[in-house]
Structure 1
């Protein structure tokens, strides 16, 4: 079997707008940036144990089919669903160094990531969701709508005690519409 080649890239897709490029590479906690746009609400879509897919195993360098903990959420701004996010870590890490992920409920992941100096973060990788099997399937499970053309995601891997936690954030078209309506917004 030939190894899977990743479609994820260190730079945003060339067809992405300036605003899209900014948000795909924006450092720091995404929720803090979103709070500048309006009231942010987090809804938990799924928290469960599953097995690691090949596409994700490349990024976190863990063998395919390893048991993982998955947390999927929707971030809404002023009641408009704008970003859905998917966080994964090996199940053993979710029971030890990353156990806080199982206790967040509707709090943002940033609450546990940005207050511990031992946590490191990789560079962002970006993709058009149409190129990601895992993200396409997740989109269909929650939205059951055709994939928009300009439908981008970013991901990065946090490390604590040599254990990965990958966070993928998918920007829904409603986010870009909301951003365009923000007259005073500057990035």
Structure 2
């Protein structure tokens, strides 16, 4: 899979065995990570600022190109070991509905806020195998000492009262994936 593909049960055999359940799980990735972590899961905030979303992100969110949107990048860590790189894009219209909820996240998991929201709905999950040429691979590995040949990622759009939030999660190298 070179490009983002909607996940369907028929495609499950094409996903890496160790990551299949992680990539296709529709629940909270943070909660699942907490259930298998040796230490407390902590969120390391890498970036939180307004920028023009990348064309690929704007298309997925059905937003105009070059529109300024809020970017949040974090590492989900087991103790101090990075396990997941997550990138969230929040359109201005979504932010304006819940500005304090986003601004007060800090190092709290976004999933905690999203899955507690009664109006939450979610698009289909898409998966991709990222190589070193992909911009998301480059962002995710900027914080790593070791750069694997590929990284697997998933993304979906969450809707809060109909307002979109793009969440992309990239699975970093970890022994955890093969033990669950």
With over 3 angstroms needed to count, the CA separation of the structure-2 counterparts of 1:136 and 1:53, relative to structure 1, is same
2:158 is aligned with 1:158: yes
C-alpha deviation, 1:145, in angstroms: 5.7
Q: Secondary structure at the match of 1:173?
A: coil
- Structure 2: runs of 5 or more not aligned: none
CA distance in 2, matches of 1:13, 1:136: 22
Matched, 1:179 2:177: yes
Q: Distance in 1 between matches of 2:150 and 2:141?
A: 16
- Deviation per residue, 1:80-104 (Å, 9 max, x gap): 1110100111134223246412211
Give the unaligned 5+ runs of structure 1: 1-5
Q: Does 1:9 align with 2:2?
A: no
Q: What's the TM-score once normalised by structure 1's chain length?
A: 0.82
Conservation of the 8 A alpha-carbon contact between 2:131 and 2:150: no
SS at match of 2:6: coil
Q: RMSD over aligned Cα, in angstroms?
A: 2.4
Q: Does the 8 Å CA contact 2:19/2:177 hold for their aligned counterparts?
A: no
Residues 86 and 168 in structure 2, CA contact (< 8 A), matched pair in contact too: yes
1:2-151 alignment runs, 5 A limit: 7-11=3-7, 15-38=14-37, 39-97=40-98, 99-130=100-131, 133-139=134-140, 141-143=142-144, 146=147, 148-151=148-151
Q: What secondary structure is seen at the aligned counterpart in 2 of 1:107?
A: coil
SS of structure 1 residue aligned to 2:3: coil
Answer 1 or 2: which has greater strand percent: 2
Is the CA contact 1:7–1:132 (under 8 Å) kept in the aligned structure 2? Answer: no
User: What is the CA distance between 1:121 and its match in structure 2?
Assistant: 0.6
Query: What is the total number of aligned residue pairs between the two structures?
Result: 174
8 Å CA contact 1:7, 1:131 repeated in 2: no
Task: Give the drift of 1:35.
Answer: 0.9
Please state whether the residue corresponding to 1:129 is helix, strand or coil. strand
- For 1:143 and 1:106, the matched residues in 2 are separated by 20
Cα deviation, residue 44, structure 1: 0.3
